[in-house]
Amino acid sequence: MRSTRSALRSRALAAALAIAGLSLTTAAFAHGDVVPHAVDTSALPQLGEEWRDNNPFTGNDAAIKIGQSAFGQNCARCHGLDAVSGGIAPDLRKLDRDCMDVPNERKKAACYKEVNQYFLMSIRGGKVRNGAIYMPPFEGILSQEAMWSIKAWLETRRTKDE
């Protein structure tokens, strides 16, 4: 009787561990294909080799449309559809919310410039912590025009909401 209970417990434990392992494996692949995808920016003015400090496409309707599509192809898996994060990665609608209420226009412009530089650093180099890749680097895959288009679209999604 005792050995039967022990055997049942062992089987139950083995089954529970197998299910837990399967769950973790499934979670690792939950985001699907995370390979960056190129973006067609041929409809936009080409910015050249030198990287801009500020977004030259702010308010540009064509860039915003391209940016929305590029975000959907490359960023939405982690940052959420329409940039509404589900908690996996930061909510990019709030990326520059600290700048929104700066009353001094010169300081506000400097704040947005700093956020733009952080955005470019992040998207170009990706995010790696302790050897784990949290976000792939997009430099060499997305052009400067594509990156600024994504940022132009994100600017239309700004929110201060928590």
What are 66-69's contacts with CB under 8 Å, separation 24+? 66/39, 66/40, 66/41, 66/146, 66/149, 66/153, 67/146, 67/148, 67/149, 67/150, 67/151, 67/152, 67/153, 67/154, 68/153, 69/39
What per-residue confidence (pLDDT) applies to 38? 81
Q: What is the mean pLDDT of each run of 10 residues along the chain (162 residues)?
A: 62 55 43 68 94 94 96 92 86 91 95 95 92 90 95 90 67
